[in-house]
Amino acid sequence: MLALRLTVFVLLFCGTCGFSRFGFNLINHCNPPEQLVGKFCAALLDNDVNGDGRVDGSDIAKDVLYYNYDDDLCIMQEWEVVTRWTCRYGFSDRNGRFMFKLFDGNKDGFWTTDDFKALNFSNADFLAAQYTRFKNMYCVDPNNRENPVDRVQCAEVNALKPEDVKCT
Ligand SMILES: [Ca+2]
Ligand SMILES: [Ca+2]
Ligand SMILES: [Ca+2]
């Protein structure tokens, strides 16, 4: 909670005074894995919160608490999702917005736990889905390969085979 309060303070205090992503990353200890497989594995680790080998709605409801940078823990706004997605995993802002749209299942413009409650994957399927989604839904669109972060990560995913995607 202290970290959350600090974040809110920094956002309010620094929002108008040259607040930078660099400063934000320092404060929030952003240290995303460099390799794509590491990012996928970090997301798997984060999303099987109870460690039972499945990622379901109740796990995700806990994980999305980390997607909150304002005072409202129940609603994840697009900028909060983009912030978490870039900070924790090192994906691009654009990819964050893509994920936000994709998983706003009820299309109300926010993430809430309602968007995730029906999800239920084995860990292997969750991991494989990240790879196929990134490769076949995101990188397949040339507009998603324009910025430098996406260009590097899309080249990386295209060089990966399904069997390369494993967490040891
Ligand atoms: Ca679980
Ligand atoms: Ca929020
Ligand atoms: Ca929603």
CA distances from 53 to 25, 103, 115 (A): 30, 21, 21
Neighbours of ion ligand 3 (CB under 5 A): 104, 106, 108, 110, 115
Burial (CB < 10 A; 0-12, 13-18, 19+), residue 48, is buried
pLDDT on residue 42: 97
pLDDT on residue 46: 97
CA 38 to ligand 1 centroid distance, Å: 19
pLDDT on residue 17: 34
CA 114 to ligand 3 centroid distance, Å: 7
CA 66 to ligand 2 centroid distance, Å: 9
CA 127 to ligand 2 centroid distance, Å: 26
DSSP lists the bridge partners of residue 111 as 76
pLDDT in 10s for each residue of the chain, 168 residues = 555 555 544 444 433 333 445 555 555 678 999 999 999 999 999 999 999 999 999 999 999 999 999 989 999 999 999 999 999 999 999 999 999 999 999 999 999 999 999 999 999 999 999 999 999 999 999 999 999 999 999 999 999 999 999 998
pLDDT on residue 59: 97
CA 125 to ligand 2 centroid distance, Å: 28
Global confidence as pTM: 0.83
**Shortest-distance ligand to the CA of residue 111:** 3
pLDDT on residue 7: 53
**Shortest-distance ligand to the CA of residue 50:** 1
DSSP 8-state code for residue 167: -
Residue 30 to residue 22: CA distance in whole angstroms? 9
